[in-house]
Chains A and B, each alone.
Chain A
Amino acid sequence: MSLTQQDVARIAKLARIAVTEQEITAVGQQLNDIFGLIEKMQAVNTDHVEPMAHPQDASLRLRADAVAESNRRDDFMALAPQAEAGLFLVPKVIE
């Protein structure tokens, strides 16, 4: 398998990471090397093997429905790159 420059550009777009033309070439090469490594697992037969998502075969613990958090808006807003009137500000959202 080999990733094309278009593949790399598409992935970067999906991941919301800006890449320059030069980077696409360099990153593409590295990604292809990595996939060269990854492809080795295709040689193994894994029919009838249950995928393992988690180290423990346990069930999810649930919490009771109760409010346990108080308002910490001021603390949080102090960390925001841009905020006003208790809102996080971002470039215009277009629907």
Chain B
Amino acid sequence: MKWEVVIGLEVHVQLSTVSKIFSGASTAFGAEPNTQACNVDLAYPGVLPVLNEAAVDKAIHLGLALGAKINQKNVFARKNYFYPDLPKGYQISQMDLPVVEGGQIAILVGDEEKIIRVTRAHMEEDAGKSLHEDFHGLSGIDLNRAGTPLLEIVSEPDMRSVDEAVAYAKALYTLVTWLGICDGNMQEGSFRMDVNVSVRPQGQEAFGTRREIKNLNSFRFLEQAAKYEIQWQIDTLEEGGKIQQATVLFDPDTGETRMMRSKEDAHDYRYFPDPDLLPVRISDAWIARAQSEMPELPGQMKARFAAEYGLSAYDAALLTASLAQARYFEAAAKASGQGKLVANWINGDIAARLNRDGGDILACPISPERLAGLVARIADNTLSSKLAKQVFEALWESDLSADAIIERDGLKQVSDVGAIEKMVEEAIAANPKAVEEFRSGKEKALNALAGQVMKASKGKANPAQVLEILKNKLAG
């Protein structure tokens, strides 16, 4: 049987505020346990929540970027359950009236663009952490994270492959970091994904029973976990088994998913509007202000890059994977006037280097201006592609400009006709066999002769000129 995969994502984005969503405690990561948990975060008797304006503002920005509806009246509700990292015994979240409803985001899988619909995004507070290292058989609770603002972004089950799911997650990641509403630090848990996976026979309309993989904090784990889960579900069904709705965890060590033991008893969260908080009302003016602050979005910038610089959709998508990358590209493209060449360098040699070193564009030692200097010398034929690579290496290792490197290392391409003619004549004289072969119709022999000329010029001769002069001389 052919199976179709159905995937939806719930992404928890930590909003990059300095203080918590309902208290004045710091959200900075990495502090000593419980040093950033105030009486409100610890749910002392009598304490009350007061909403952080910046959390709402960031939610509005995301909503606008997704083309979603901003609910100008939205309501906080309590989600009740007992867990040691949840001090109040309820999480303040949003249920019936979330801040953002609807919206969509475009993803690129191969050359295909696809629209993934967003159901909603709601504000809520993060929980603390249970540390599982052993305290004489006990768990330690650190509540520094408790109360960190989250935006939970829920997609429709619109994805039909793991690649689409990863592309959606990456597109969302790009957007929230682009907007500056999330620091994007996935190791620190700033962007955590829950994936709902189900399979159904190809052609069947009804969804299969889904299982939810909780709390994935890297795109690689997302990919591995979803792949494993899909195969497990297909195997189970093909063996005549049934899928039970469940919440599962992914174990990166084994690459497998397993049922969460703590969630076995069915939850009844008893949502109701939080009586400590009144409805949040968002004015037209606030939305207008947020709209006016909106940067050019990745999708818009991608389209503009393609049109303005003659780039492929693929190249434009790579360049707009992050705001920093897009800005880098645009600065170098403007300085050199050579968008296509700049794109090739960024998506080619620079990406390979950064990938090898495990950094992003911000870690690139070559400034956009210096890259533009290199590209300009390629465009005006000062550098052959071979010399350009040499200059690129030197740019990476030093602070010099491309021109200074060319000057220092004498890497200027030789385009002086007289000098090249002389070298060509010497090559013809020294290689009678190759000349004979060429004249008897072996086109390849020309390359061998050109190679000799290039070698004699120490790689500096303009290769196009060398070929042209060679042909003329041999024909003569």
Q: Residues on A close to B: CB < 8 A?
A: 13-14, 16, 53-54, 56, 58-69, 71-73, 76-77, 82, 84-95
Q: List chain B residues, Cβ under 8 A from A93.
A: 83-85, 130, 132, 139, 262
Q: What is the interface of chain A mostly: helix, strand, loop, or mixed?
A: loop
Indicate the member of B38, B39, B82, B137 with the most A CB atoms within 10 Å.
B38
Given A89-B135, A94-B262, A95-B249, verify A66-B18 contact (CB < 8 Å).
yes
Contact B35 A94 (CB under 8 A): no
Given A14-B268, A87-B141, A89-B138, verify A71-B36 contact (CB < 8 Å).
yes
Complex CA gap A13/B276 in Å reads 26
Complex CA gap A16/B279 in Å reads 30
Contact B138 A82 (CB under 8 A): yes
Which A residue's beta carbon lies closest to that of B33? Answer: A86
Which B residue's beta carbon lies closest to that of A63? Answer: B50
17 extra A-B contacts, CB within 8 A, seeds A68-B19, A93-B130: A59-B281, A60-B281, A61-B278, A62-B52, A63-B53, A65-B54, A67-B26, A69-B36, A72-B38, A77-B34, A82-B138, A85-B135, A87-B140, A90-B141, A93-B84, A93-B132, A95-B260
Interface residues as binary, B80-117 with A (CB distance below 8 Å gives 1, 0 otherwise)? 00111100000000000000000000000000000000
Place the interface of chain B in its size category: 35 or more
Is B131 positioned at the interface, with any CB of A under 8 Å from its CB?
Answer: yes
Q: List chain B residues, Cβ under 8 A from A56.
A: 278
Is B23 positioned at the interface, with any CB of A under 8 Å from its CB?
Answer: yes
Contact B275 A76 (CB under 8 A): no
Partner of B261, one of A61, A71, A89, A95: A95
Contact A63 B51 (CB under 8 A): yes
Contact B140 A85 (CB under 8 A): yes
Indicate the member of A61, A65, A73 with the most B CB atoms within 10 Å.
A65
Q: List chain A residues, Cβ under 8 A from B53.
A: 62-65
Contact B278 A88 (CB under 8 A): no
Q: List chain B residues, Cβ under 8 A from A71.
A: 35-36
Q: List 16 A-B contacts (CB under 8 A).
A: A53-B273, A60-B277, A63-B50, A65-B54, A67-B24, A69-B23, A72-B39, A76-B34, A84-B140, A86-B34, A87-B34, A89-B135, A89-B141, A90-B139, A92-B139, A94-B262
Q: List chain B residues, Cβ under 8 A from A59.
A: 278-281
Instruction: Output the least CB separation between A53 and chain B (Å).
Output: 5
Q: List chain A residues, Cβ under 8 A from B85.
A: 93
Instruction: Output the least CB separation between B432 and chain A (Å).
Output: 79
Complex CA gap A89/B138 in Å reads 6
Partner of A87, one of B135, B249, B278: B135
Given A84-B135, A86-B35, verify A94-B140 contact (CB < 8 Å).
no
Interface residues of B in 179-204 (CB under 8 A from A): none
Contact A88 B34 (CB under 8 A): yes
Given A53-B273, A86-B32, A91-B138, verify A68-B280 contact (CB < 8 Å).
no
Complex CA gap A88/B37 in Å reads 12
